[in-house]
Amino acid sequence: MFVIIGIIVVVASIILGFTIAGGNLFLLIQVSEFITIGGAALGSLLIASPLSLIKKIVGFLPQIFKHAQNSKDDYLQMLKSFSDLFLIAQREGLLAIEKHVEDPDKSDILSRNKKFIKDKLIKEFFCDTMKVMLSGSVPPHELEGLMDAEIETFEKENRPVYETIGRVGDSLPGLGIVAAVLGIIVTMASINSGAEAVGHHVAAALVGTFLGVLLAYGFVNPIAANITLMVEERAQELQIIKMYILAYSKGNPPFVAAEIARRTIFSDVRPSFEELESSLRGRKEK
């Protein structure tokens, strides 16, 4: 939502400011400059990126428009689901929760958390780790190493996405200069065509510089920053799950494990101790 609002604000500000200054908007529509800068940027992306990375970039772009940050309630529901599950394990043994982690979609505990069920990343991370616990006696430090390896892999796998988009953004001002230089070459070639023609070509060349800088700092680099935050938030979700599982594997009761996990949630969406306690005990906070 805020991405769309931001795009509207950027475009509206440019148009309004240019119009108030007496500019003619039609002068900004220089198809040749768009083709030069856009084509060169796309070409540089193809040179720098394998097909697999390009697919990931294309897959991430729609997410910036529909991604919503997890709320306090989302984390409370997740911690409650885990606590309910581990309470069964505490009473009846780990094998009692095997059916829940083998098929979480049919679990009467995990399936109550719709966001968890729909999120393939965190669902597989939690359930696959639990399957390892159920398969035998795995020391906590080995379990921690296993989860750390998966989180590190997730971060390394997605880091090239925002880094590549950021590099394209950094190259756009330079490509704008390239387009402007080409425009000046055209201008010099038509120097005998009169002042009006020369002025038109110079204006078109300057649009190239303007377009490169605007695309870089108004759109592409902010998109890279948005994806960076998105990946960091997803990695933090995995860290929260890791802390819960690790705390329980060390012999802590479910409530203590939930409290340890709670403290790894970012402060702006972190539930209070009282809110967590009320949620786990099934009563509403007054």
Q: Both tokens of residue 226?
A: 């948005």
pTM of the model as a whole:
0.86
- Can you give the pLDDT at residue 192? 75
Q: Both tokens of residue 206?
A: 């300057």
Q: Both tokens of residue 190?
A: 């038509």
- Can you give the pLDDT at residue 239? 95
pLDDT in tens, the chain (286 residues): 788 899 999 999 999 998 898 888 887 888 888 899 999 999 999 999 999 999 999 999 888 888 888 899 999 999 999 999 999 988 888 888 989 999 999 988 998 888 899 989 999 999 999 999 888 777 888 899 999 999 999 999 999 999 999 999 999 999 999 988 888 888 887 777 777 777 777 888 888 899 999 999 999 999 999 999 999 999 999 999 999 999 998 889 999 999 999 999 999 999 999 999 998 887 544 3
CB atoms within 10 A of CB 224: 19
Q: Give yes or no for a contact between 240 and 126, defined as CB atoms under 8 angstroms apart.
A: no
DSSP 3-state assignment of 87? helix
In angstroms, the first-to-last Cα distance of the chain is 31
Q: What are the residues whose beta carbons fall under 8 Å from the beta carbon of 117, sequence distance 6 or more? A: 104, 105, 110, 111, 123
Q: Give yes or no for a contact between 216 and 167, defined as CB atoms under 8 angstroms apart.
A: no
- Can you give the pLDDT at residue 286? 39
- Can you give the pLDDT at residue 175? 92
- Can you give the pLDDT at residue 125? 94
- Tokens 């786990």, residue located: 280
Distance CA 232, CA 246 (A): 21
